[in-house]
């Protein structure tokens, strides 16, 4: 290079303005544990701020004390040892959002878990945000169909509602949530399934069901497995809710499932105890109610001023030995707008979905339910409650009169008609026809296999009735005696054709 060129370059560098200094605040790890770290030397760090450790590991400031920070790690801590450096970032935990997330399986930080490239979006939103105020909300007036007879008729869910799914292990809680997601295919409702502390094979089974049911294209799966750091399980539901808020802000309706908040509470308790927070009831920290309330209050039906979309939340919680009065279940029951209770007693009777209509309730869904279905649901609850009372009485072996025996037969038939296999969500018009057939006695004295065959015949008949039953539900009007008689006649003819009619 010629000498004069070098001189010109040096002079240009000398004449250029000096670069602004970059300030890096660096602290030191003093303790490292299972999912947590104690950090000193970062006196200006803020609560919930992201800190960077070596090897790409990040953590969240969880506790602020005068001379140290309690940090929750969002990943494996194997590369971090006491004495390691840690840096402030000046930002909070954020996740990618937008329509590009649909069809993807991601972790609690939005990183791909399905083997694909990172989601094609540069939009980031913090996982923590204030819930919309009263003036930013609208009434819940539209139904969200789950495709399950026992839910849509008796425990209806409205768009923007928070409906708890509660029950013991192996009672079908996840199945109800997955069927609800499958039923949104073709409705325009977007879905998010958030798996918290679940086994990898269980999450893979759900993802397989969504793929097989053609629901993955409109669904985001957020997963934080039980083998991962507890910090990821703690932030996962907030990350999923943030993704839902970004979609709802564009006017879309979103269904979000948290499976389950029992594991979320356990991960929060674990982190709190490791950081020496004072324990309370059942060793949970004192703010465990607020942890779930600030999450679920972000759901709702929103006013047009903030997009006009909705977020319907189906949180799942597990009970032990049917103990609904345990700490976490009672907290969530008081936060949500109703609960779907799945009874082990019904599971033992092979009644799936095992929805106990005596304990289940929806505090707002009835206002969003189609009047025709609401007319049937009243008779359904009365028939089943009378049947269960008589069933308990009949256990003593007392001789029963003919009227009581007929009520027992009718109740057993109605309960049998509520059976529904997994991954078979049902349109509202087919549900209505089957329930009317059961209440009218068309399934009396049928065994389980015969009832299933008869129900399939009734469903086929409704699909070929030129949409009259669907038009009745969509019209929003009450059911007249003529409507009821027409549907009952349709069901009676369908059963007669397959040899299961009342006179067969």
Q: What is the DSSP string of 208-226?
A: HHHHHTT-GGGEEEEEE-T
Residues 245-253, mean pLDDT to the nearest whole number: 97
Residue 388 pLDDT: 85
Domain-embedded: residue 340: yes
pLDDT tens-digit readout, 144-203: 999 999 999 999 999 999 999 999 999 999 999 999 999 999 999 999 999 999 999 999
H or E stretch at 468: helix 468-475
Strand locations in 155-235, DSSP E?
Answer: 164-167, 190-196, 219-224
Q: Maximum CA pair distance of the chain? A: 117
Residue 154 belongs to a domain with what CATH number? 3.40.50.300
Looking at the fold, whether 311 and 382 belong to one and the same domain comes out as no
Q: What is the mean pLDDT of the chain?
A: 92
Residue 6 pLDDT: 78
Residue 256 pLDDT: 98
The helix/strand/coil state of 423 is coil
Residue 12 pLDDT: 78
Query: With bands split at pLDDT 50, 70 and 90, how would you rate the model's confidence at 74?
Result: very high
Q: Which of 12-26, 181-195, 330-344 has the lowest mean pLDDT?
A: 12-26
Q: Which of 102-116, 217-231, 389-403 has the lowest mean pLDDT?
A: 389-403
Domain-embedded: residue 430: yes
Domain-embedded: residue 3: no
Residue 25 pLDDT: 87
Query: With bands split at pLDDT 50, 70 and 90, how would you rate the model's confidence at 384?
Result: confident
Q: Which of 36-45, 150-159, 389-398 has the lowest mean pLDDT?
A: 389-398
Looking at the fold, whether 308 and 264 belong to one and the same domain comes out as yes
- Which residue from 97, 401, 461, 244 is spatially nearest to 469, judged by alpha carbons? 461
Looking at the fold, whether 231 and 153 belong to one and the same domain comes out as yes
Q: Which residues are catalytic?
A: 363
Query: With bands split at pLDDT 50, 70 and 90, how would you rate the model's confidence at 77?
Result: confident
pLDDT tens-digit readout, 218-239: 999 999 998 899 999 999 999 9
Residue 118 pLDDT: 93
Q: Is 503's pLDDT higher than 60?
A: no
Q: Is 498's pLDDT higher than 60?
A: yes
Residues 77-93, mean pLDDT to the nearest whole number: 91
Looking at the fold, whether 282 and 426 belong to one and the same domain comes out as no
Looking at the fold, whether 267 and 120 belong to one and the same domain comes out as yes
Q: What is the pTM of this model?
A: 0.92
Residues 12-26, mean pLDDT to the nearest whole number: 77
Looking at residue 28, what DSSP letter applies?
A: E
Q: Is 504's pLDDT higher than 70?
A: no
Looking at the fold, whether 354 and 414 belong to one and the same domain comes out as no
Looking at the fold, whether 239 and 134 belong to one and the same domain comes out as yes
Report the number of distinct structural domains present in the chain.
3
Domain-embedded: residue 5: no
Q: Which of 97-106, 331-340, 402-411 has the lowest mean pLDDT?
A: 402-411
- Residue where a domain stops, chosen among 319, 341, 367: 367
Residue 34 pLDDT: 85
Most confident of 18-22, 30-34, 55-59, 170-174: 170-174
Domain extent for 83 = 26-92
Domain-embedded: residue 294: yes
Q: By the 8 A CB rule, do 341 and 360 touch?
A: yes
The helix/strand/coil state of 164 is strand
Looking at the fold, whether 306 and 403 belong to one and the same domain comes out as no
Residue 251 pLDDT: 96
- 332 φ, ψ to 5°? -70, -35
As a whole-number percent, the residues of the chain with pLDDT over 70 amount to: 98
Q: By the 8 A CB rule, do 201 and 230 touch?
A: no
Residue 3 pLDDT: 57
CA angle 468, 472, 473 (to 5 degrees): 120
Residue 78 pLDDT: 81
- Which residue from 43, 79, 75 is spatially nearest to 59, judged by alpha carbons? 75
Residues 86-110, mean pLDDT to the nearest whole number: 95
Domain-embedded: residue 13: no
Looking at the fold, whether 399 and 340 belong to one and the same domain comes out as no
pLDDT tens-digit readout, 467-488: 899 999 989 899 999 999 999 9
Domain-embedded: residue 132: yes
- Which residue from 106, 98, 317 is spatially nearest to 190, judged by alpha carbons? 98
Q: By the 8 A CB rule, do 164 and 155 touch?
A: no
Output helix, strand, coil percentages for the chain, rounded to the nearest 5: 40, 20, 40
Query: With bands split at pLDDT 50, 70 and 90, how would you rate the model's confidence at 2?
Result: low
Residue 1 pLDDT: 46
Measured over the CA atoms of residue 24, residue 25, residue 30 and residue 34, the dihedral's sign is negative
- Residue where a domain stops, chosen among 328, 350, 367: 367
Show the tokens assigned to 472: 């009745």
Q: Is 346's pLDDT higher than 90?
A: yes
Separation of alpha carbons 108 and 60, rounded Å? 13
Looking at the fold, whether 156 and 270 belong to one and the same domain comes out as yes
Residue 31 pairs in a beta bridge with 38
CA dihedral 210, 212, 216, 217 (to 10 degrees): -160
Show the tokens assigned to 147: 């495709």
- Residue where a domain stops, chosen among 338, 367, 396: 367
């Amino acid at each position: 290079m010629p000498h004069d060129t070098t001189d010109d370059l040096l002079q240009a560098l000398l004449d250029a303005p000096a670069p602004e200094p970059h300030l890096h605040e660096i602290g030191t790890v003093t303790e490292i544990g299972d999912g947590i770290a104690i950090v000193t030397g970062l006196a200006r760090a803020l609560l919930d701020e992201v800190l960077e450790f070596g090897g790409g590991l990040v953590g969240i400031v969880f506790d602020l004390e005068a001379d140290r920070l309690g940090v929750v790690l969002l990943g494996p801590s194997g590369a971090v040892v006491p004495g390691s450096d840690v840096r402030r970032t000046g930002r909070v935990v954020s996740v990618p959002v937008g329509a590009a997330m649909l069809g993807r399986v991601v972790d609690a930080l939005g990183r791909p878990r399905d083997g694909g490239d990172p989601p094609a979006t540069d939009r980031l939103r913090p996982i923590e945000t204030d819930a919309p105020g009263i003036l930013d909300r609208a009434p819940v007036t539209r139904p969200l169909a789950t495709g399950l007879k026992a839910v849509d008729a008796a425990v209806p869910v409205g768009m923007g509602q928070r409906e708890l799914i509660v029950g013991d292990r192996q009672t079908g809680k996840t199945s109800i949530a997955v069927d609800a997601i499958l039923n949104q295919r073709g409705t325009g409702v977007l879905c998010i399934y958030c798996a918290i502390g679940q086994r990898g094979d269980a999450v893979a089974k759900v993802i397989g069901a969504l793929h097989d049911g053609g629901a993955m294209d409109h669904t985001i799966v957020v997963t934080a497995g039980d083998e991962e750091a507890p910090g990821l399980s703690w932030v996962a539901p907030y990350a999923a809710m943030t993704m839902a808020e970004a979609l709802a802000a564009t006017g879309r309706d979103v269904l979000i499932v948290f499976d389950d908040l029992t594991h979320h509470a356990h991960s929060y308790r674990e982190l709190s105890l490791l950081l020496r927070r004072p324990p309370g009831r059942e060793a949970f920290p004192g703010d465990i109610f607020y942890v779930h309330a600030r999450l679920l209050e972000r759901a709702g039906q929103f006013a047009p001023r903030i997009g006009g979309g909705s977020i319907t939340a189906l949180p799942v919680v597990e009970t032990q030995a049917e103990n609904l009065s345990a700490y976490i279940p009672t907290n969530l029951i008081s936060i949500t707008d109703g609960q779907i209770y799945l009874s082990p007693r019904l599971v033992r009777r092979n009644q799936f979905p095992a929805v106990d209509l005596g304990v289940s309730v929806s505090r707002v869904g009835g206002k969003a339910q189609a009047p025709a279905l609401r007319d049937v649901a009243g008779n359904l609850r009365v028939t089943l409650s009378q049947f269960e009372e008589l069933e308990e009485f009949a256990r003593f072996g007392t001789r029963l009169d003919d009227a009581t025996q007929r009520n027992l037969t009718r109740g057993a038939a109605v309960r049998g008609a509520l059976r529904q296999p997994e991954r078979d969500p049902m349109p509202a018009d087919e549900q209505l026809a089957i329930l009317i057939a059961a209440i009218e006695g068309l399934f009396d004295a049928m065994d389980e296999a015969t009832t299933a065959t008869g129900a399939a015949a009734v469903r086929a008949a409704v699909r070929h009735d030129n949409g009259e039953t669907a038009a009745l539900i969509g019209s929003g009007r009450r059911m007249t005696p003529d409507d009821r008689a027409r549907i009952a006649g349709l069901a009676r003819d369908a059963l007669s054709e397959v040899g299961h009619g009342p006179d067969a």
